[in-house]
């Protein structure tokens, strides 16, 4: 089965690795759409800490990942699912229900997020450490 998943994967951490490994375990081929810097800016009004070329290189280097592309638009998910011939879309459960309409194209599964870690929390830790020492 061919699996597809999407994410920003900024400041790559263990929660990201866990979901990618678990996504791959559901099939034999894993495609990852890494969200573009511009897409992040349009969604969150800030750019990721790590630029898209770096985020894509990191994801590409993982042994559980077979193929990587840049996700330029949230509206193109259906096209990406078809283009990469995915049989199953996997997302973390922070997205539960949000992609159910793709069930007409492929299976849709939401996996439990790894508790206690997020890019936002990492940024906060760095920020508070920097504040303390400056």
The nearest distance, CB 118 to ligand C2G, in angstroms, is: 5
Hey, what's the torsion of the CAs at 12, 113, 21, 125, to 10 degrees? 20
CB nearer to ligand C2G: pick between 31 and 119 = 119
Compare residues 50 and 131 and give the one whose CB is closer to ligand C2G: 50
Our CB check for ligand C2G shows the closer of 75 and 131 to be 75
Altogether, the residues listed in the chain come to a count of 134
Question: Cα-flanking dihedrals φ and ψ of residue 17, to 5°?
Answer: -60, -45
Is there a contact between 48 and 41 (Cβ–Cβ < 8 Å)? Answer: no
Taking the C-alpha atoms of residue 91 and residue 99, their distance in angstroms, rounded to an integer, is 9
Write out the residues near ligand C2G by the rule CB under 6 A: 6-10, 15-16, 19, 35, 71, 74, 91-92, 94, 113-114, 117-119
Cβ distance 12 to 49 under 8 Å?
Answer: no
Q: How far is the CB of 85 from ligand C2G (least distance, A)?
A: 18
Phi, psi of 46 (to 5 degrees): -150, 150
31 or 35, CB closer to ligand C2G? 35
- Give the residue with the Cβ less far from ligand C2G, 81 or 92: 92
Least distance to ligand C2G from the beta carbon of 112, Å? 7
Residue in the shown chain whose Cβ atom is closest to ligand C2G? 92
Measured CA to CA, the distance from residue 67 to residue 48 in angstroms comes to: 21
Residue 54 CB, nearest approach to ligand C2G (Å): 14
């Amino acid at each position: 089965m061919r699996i597809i998943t999407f994410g920003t994967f900024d400041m790559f951490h263990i929660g990201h690795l866990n979901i990618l490994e678990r996504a791959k375990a559901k099939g034999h081929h894993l495609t990852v759409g890494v969200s573009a810097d511009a897409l992040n800016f349009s969604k969150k009004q800030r750019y990721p800490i790590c630029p898209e070329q770096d985020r894509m290189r990191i994801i590409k280097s993982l042994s559980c990942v077979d193929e990587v592309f840049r996700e330029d638009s949230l509206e193109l998910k259906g096209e990406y699912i078809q283009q990469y011939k995915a049989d199953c879309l996997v997302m973390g459960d922070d997205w539960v229900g949000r992609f159910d309409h793709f069930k007409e194209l492929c299976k849709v599964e939401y996996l439990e997020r790894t508790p206690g870690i997020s890019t936002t929390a990492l940024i906060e830790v760095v920020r508070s450490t920097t504040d303390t020492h400056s």
